[in-house]
Amino acid sequence: MSSAVAQPSFEARYTLPAIETVADTAEEIRRKQERIRALCTERNAVLLAHHYQRPEVQDVADAVADSLKLSQAAAKTNADVIVFCGVHFMAETAAILLPDKKVLLPDLRAGCSLAASITPEELLAWKAKLPDAVVVAYINTSAAVKALSDYCCTSANAAKVVRAIPADRSILFLPDKFLAEVVARQTGRSNIIAYPGYCHVHKTIRPEQAVEILAEHPDIEMLLHPECGCVSSCMAKAMDGTLPQDRTFFLSTEGMLRHIGDSSATEFAVGTELGIMHQLHKKFPDKTFYPVNPDATCAFMKTITLDRIIRSLETLTPQIQVPAEIACKAKRAIDRMLELA
């Protein structure tokens, strides 16, 4: 695998929202959730939430899942309104798949540092240098970037998508350099050229933290999201035996839940954003989980609160729309992924 361009600084491209503390009592939460469910019925709305959402938002949702399952759920829904409790690129994906439905994102500050790391202009310039390469875009990209891509993928199916591309074709893989490394290792391909983007949250999940947890809990299974900054080092550590090779896994958020359900292990180190802990504790009360980085919080995801969902359902705003020409081209890349998934 090779890298595309020198490492730029992406931090200047986005503003991280302040994380608001919500001090609702249990009774207030219950009343707001009831109001949301009543509004969903009134509006014929479905509420989709990502695993990184606040616990009280996950608890009121119709479905809680990873990016792939949320796209599949959006593609199948009969609802007139989709309330996306996630970030902007996820709502855009739903709007591309369902142009006749109203897709709401309760807070427009819900961006994504990874999606911000590549613009359509940058992708065009990169493609011009390697015009014969196949472009695989992670779902964490804008609709305009997807429109310039051949395939879309998520962390749950990136290796599958790459395997579907003839072995002799070079691949421009964007924008996550850590996911690109995992996919190159999983597929054994040397012709993947990685864009140097990263998620500011997952980048902070470091190999030393993984090794430290293992020293404290020698029997754990190590579950790491492929966006983590530690992936290359952890893959090497799994090879040299510093981390247990048969107990180190690179998984999407949904993949983690599935893996834990199938595993006989009782203790897990979890390398991803902390919102997932809510589902883990809820679904597996008898198992124990240790976050690899206890500070891994996505401020973009936490902008969505119960109050903002209520306001969004009452006013049917903010609505996410994608211009038809971009949507039509982006849909090709998303559809290719969904067909493979």
Q: Report the interface residues with ligand 13P, using CB under 6 A.
A: 51, 66-67, 140, 154-155, 199, 202, 227, 252-253
Q: Is the Cβ of residue 73 or residue 310 nearer to ligand 13P in the bound state?
A: 73
Site stretch for ligand SF4 (CB under 6 A), options 40-48, 150-158, 254-262, 296-304: 296-304
Which of positions 229-288 make contact with ligand SF4 (CB under 6 A)? 273
Nearest approach in angstroms of CB 273 to ligand SF4 is: 5
Measure the CA–CA gap between 44 and 88, rounded to whole angstroms: 22
The burial of 63, by beta-carbon neighbours within 10 Å (0-12 exposed, 13-18 middle, 19 or more buried), is given as: middle
Q: Is the Cβ of residue 40 or residue 181 nearer to ligand SF4 in the bound state?
A: 181
Nearest approach in angstroms of CB 274 to ligand 13P is: 12
Question: Looking up tokens 């050229």, which residue turns up?
Answer: 193
Residue 252 interacting entry, from ligand SF4, ligand 13P, none, C-beta within 5 to 8 Å by type = ligand 13P
The burial of 264, by beta-carbon neighbours within 10 Å (0-12 exposed, 13-18 middle, 19 or more buried), is given as: exposed
Query: What residues form DSSP beta bridges with 102?
Result: 81
Nearest approach in angstroms of CB 66 to ligand 13P is: 3
CB atoms within 10 A of CB 146: 30
Which of positions 162-201 make contact with ligand SF4 (CB under 6 A)? 199, 201
Measure the CA–CA gap between 93 and 335, rounded to whole angstroms: 11
Query: What residues form DSSP beta bridges with 135?
Result: 172
Nearest approach in angstroms of CB 69 to ligand SF4 is: 15
Q: Is the Cβ of residue 70 or residue 135 nearer to ligand SF4 in the bound state?
A: 70
CB atoms within 10 A of CB 130: 14
Tell me the per-residue interface mask from 80 to 119 with ligand SF4, x by CB under 6 A, - otherwise: -------x------------------------xxx-----
Nearest approach in angstroms of CB 113 to ligand SF4 is: 4
Q: Residue numbers of the site for ligand SF4 (CB under 6 A)?
A: 87, 112-114, 140, 199, 201-202, 227, 273, 298, 300-301
